[in-house]
Amino acid sequence: MTTTPTTPADRTASQDNPLLAPWATPFEAPPFAAFAPEQFEPAFDAALAEHRAEIERIATDPAEPTFENTIAALERSGRTLSRVAAVFHVLAGAHTNDALLGLERTLSPRLAAHANAVRTDGRLYARITALGDGEGLAPEQARVLERYSLTFRRSGAGLDAAAKARLAEITRRLATLGTTFSQNVLADEQSYVLALDGAADLAGLSGSAREEAGAAAQDRGLAGKHAITLARSSVEGFLRASERRDLREQAFRAWAARGENGGPTDNTAVIAETIRLRAERAKLLGYDSFAAYRLEDAMAKTPANVRELLDRVWTPARARALADRDAMQEMIRQEGGNFPLAAWDWRYYAEKLRKARYGIDEDEVRPYLPLDRMIAAAFDTAQKLFGLGFAERHDVPVWHPDVRVWEVTGPGGRKVGLFFGDYFARSSKRSGAWMTSLRRQEKLDGEVLPLIVNVMNFAKPAPGEPALLSFDDGRTLFHEFGHALHGLLSDVTYPTISGTGVSTDFVELPSQLYEHWLERPEVLKSFARHAVTGEPMPDELIERLAHARTFGQGFATVEYVASALVDMDFHALSPEQAAGIDPKSFEREALARIGMPEEIVMRHRPPHFTHVFSGGGYAAAYYSYMWSEVMDADAFAAFEETGDVFDPSVAKKLHDHVYAAGGSRDPADAYVAFRGRLPEADALLKKRGLAEVA
């Protein structure tokens, strides 16, 4: 078995730099304790120099271009750079510090410029185009060639020198802006804390919520008090439970204003420049807008197709949300309140409304969802579907003591890789939840096993107490683990199409599909057990949860679709339209056009919309979650139709054509191979309980 192929930098670069030296660790995992911030820049210098030399050899090869001496050679190049960058980006996201933040500001434009130089190299592009359409190649090779050809064309490899020079400037600047954006959001999140002092401030909070707030205060140096932070699990839990309307307003306003507080961390100007540069980039490449550019290489293909789906969902979702609003306003009136429902009231009264309609109280549910049991549930689901086993390892290096590691095995004990879980919020971690990798699966020169990472921000309990999850937290855990399985189960030869190397509006299918199993009685009856008594979740509570499954979907859909529509509106602008953009006014006008209820705020307002403005992974693509949800609703129905949500034959098709296939075929073809047909939006409306409103 091969793990990481040996590279020239491993052999010849300074053995004093552990980032470049061989790693004598289990699975050759990074020895995090050996790394210091000052070692990254020289490691990147060596890795970049090595990659430039590799590219030069490929570009100047006198031999006639072949798949092996061009495409396969490109796939083999840059391994040291990928190795160093993977470690750096995990630390920069999950356990950063001032030194790493400074390095990120320095390195991001350098790395972006390097990648741009490779993708716009006319000599490489000539060799790639000389290979034609890949006639005679194996299917996976033809797909990789297609991806290279498309990537180089869309990067501007065929443009003249002046256009390439301007694209290079734009690329460097966008990298700087993306880093600035994310660091500004992080700074606002790190600097804010709502200190709770005394019983009155804690009114409505459960015992476990108070313990978590106490632990957060201890972590922030506020011994003897309680604290609410801007980690989503902390602030949303507080907004659901706190009886103090004034404190809910304080917490909500701080949460909604991240990145928009004036001063050095304000992202308004960053957004405006980002939109202008993306529009200019798209025009240089021959597209009407950045959205048109982005969607050409997606399942959706055009902005019109995206809007058709979002508009179809928006109308019934808005109607459902307004009906819930009216019901909550009536609840306020009956309680003697003389105030209109506001955004900071919504979660509090929605929780009351859910309890009144379905007898569901989040504080009743949380004790049955301890983190360890939910991890076990996710693992057991993977075992039943795909035959995977998980054994915790305590000898693998990690970047923080809270991080846990499991060795993953397949049927027959075959080694699959390592899974790293980093579950708790801390001040050194960016907010949100994500999957990434320290090493991707490939087998170009032998089997390379993946090292896959899940990062989350659950509230950390007080010492000795169990970590309890809300049902939404549980969904997040299953969602990110679905992404992790996409990386772990990958079974392809070439790195470019490994694991999550698929279009953005397909990459969410494996993750969103996996969420379905959490809601199943088969899973809850086995793993939802009380953290103190060990008693299983009562059947009648499971039934109440099932009945309440679509409660609040009007609100959830509105806050999501509004974010997706505003994202699309920003990126549908031409350079001329973007020239004088004021992001604040643009946001207000975009929301007014769709009739956004004033009691609901977008799930991600532009000033902290890191999906879109921190590196642009979801720029003009935030709609992808809903596009994938059309598929995931239909895909899970394939299991339900058999009467067995773990049906082996359906699971095998899912494994072979989705989780293991990576980007080895067109996404639509992959879905049809699994399901036998393409899905329709009706399954999504039914899943969200909006079909009867449509």
DSSP string, 411-450: GGG-EEEEEEEEEE--TTS-SS-EEEEEE--B-BTB-B--
State which amino acid sits at residue 68.
E
As a whole number of angstroms, the distance between CA 63 and CA 216 comes to 62
- Please tell me the predicted confidence (pLDDT) of residue 691: 83
Mean pLDDT of the chain: 95
Cβ distance 639 to 645 under 8 Å?
yes
Q: Choose the final residue of a domain: 257, 276, 310.
A: 257
Whether 44 is covered by a domain: the verdict is yes
Whether 132 is covered by a domain: the verdict is yes
Q: Name the catalytic one among 351, 480, 587, 599.
A: 480
As a whole number of angstroms, the distance between CA 270 and CA 275 comes to 9
Buried-state track 27-63, b at ≥16 Cβ within 10 A, e below 16: bbbbbbeebebebbeebbebbbebbbebbeebbeeee
Average pLDDT (53-59) is: 98
Whether 58 is covered by a domain: the verdict is yes
Whether 59 is covered by a domain: the verdict is yes
Verify whether residue 189 is a known catalytic residue.
no
What is the signed CA dihedral for 612, 618, 620, 626, rounded to 10 degrees? -120
Distances from the Cα of 553 to the Cα of 250, 316, 689, angstroms:
25, 10, 7
Q: Could you give the number of structural domains in the chain?
A: 2
Residues 150 and 30 in one domain: yes
Residues 138 and 198 in one domain: no
Q: Which of 305-309, 372-376, 615-619 has the lowest mean pLDDT?
A: 615-619
As a whole number of angstroms, the distance between CA 173 and CA 41 comes to 20
Across the beta sheet with 415-424, what order do the strands follow?
389-393, 404-409, 415-424, 451-458, 434-439
DSSP string, 184-248: HHHHHHHH--EEE-SGGGGTT--HHHHHHHHHHHHHTT-TTSEEE-SSHHHHHHHHHH---HHHH
Whether 346 is covered by a domain: the verdict is no
Domain encompassing residue 228: 192-257
pLDDT score of 228 more than 60 = yes
Burial of residue 646 (CB within 10 Å: 0-12, 13-18, 19+) is middle
Residues 201 and 88 in one domain: no
Residues 103 and 45 in one domain: yes
Residues 154 and 197 in one domain: no
Q: What are the pLDDT digits (tens) for 289-298?
A: 999 999 999 9
CA 239-431-38 angle, 5° bins:
150
Residues 67 and 143 in one domain: yes
- Do the bridges between strand 415-424 and strand 451-458 make them parallel or antiparallel, or are there none, so unpaired? parallel
- Please tell me the predicted confidence (pLDDT) of residue 10: 45
DSSP string, 106-149: HHHHHHHHHHHHHHT-HHHHHHHHHTTT-TTS-HHHHHHHHHHH
Phi, psi of 410 (to 5 degrees): -105, -170
pLDDT score of 235 more than 80 = yes
Residues 249 and 149 in one domain: no
Q: What are the pLDDT digits (tens) for 266-285?
A: 999 999 999 999 999 999 99
As a whole number of angstroms, the distance between CA 297 and CA 663 comes to 13
Whether 71 is covered by a domain: the verdict is yes
pLDDT score of 12 more than 50 = no
Q: Choose the final residue of a domain: 239, 257, 275.
A: 257
Q: What are the pLDDT digits (tens) for 520-554?
A: 999 999 999 999 999 999 999 999 999 999 999 99
Q: Choose the final residue of a domain: 133, 158, 183.
A: 158
Judged by DSSP in three states, 392 sits in strand
- Please tell me the predicted confidence (pLDDT) of residue 2: 45
Dihedral sign, Cα of residue 220, residue 222, residue 223, residue 227: negative
Average pLDDT (55-73) is: 98
- Please tell me the predicted confidence (pLDDT) of residue 432: 92
Residues 63 and 125 in one domain: yes
Average pLDDT (182-201) is: 96
Residues 154 and 196 in one domain: no
As a whole number of angstroms, the distance between CA 191 and CA 229 comes to 9
Whether 389 is covered by a domain: the verdict is no
Residues 103 and 238 in one domain: no
Residues 233 and 152 in one domain: no
Whether 500 is covered by a domain: the verdict is no
- Please tell me the predicted confidence (pLDDT) of residue 694: 57
- Please tell me the predicted confidence (pLDDT) of residue 13: 47
Residues 67 and 153 in one domain: yes
CATH of residue 60: 1.10.1370.40
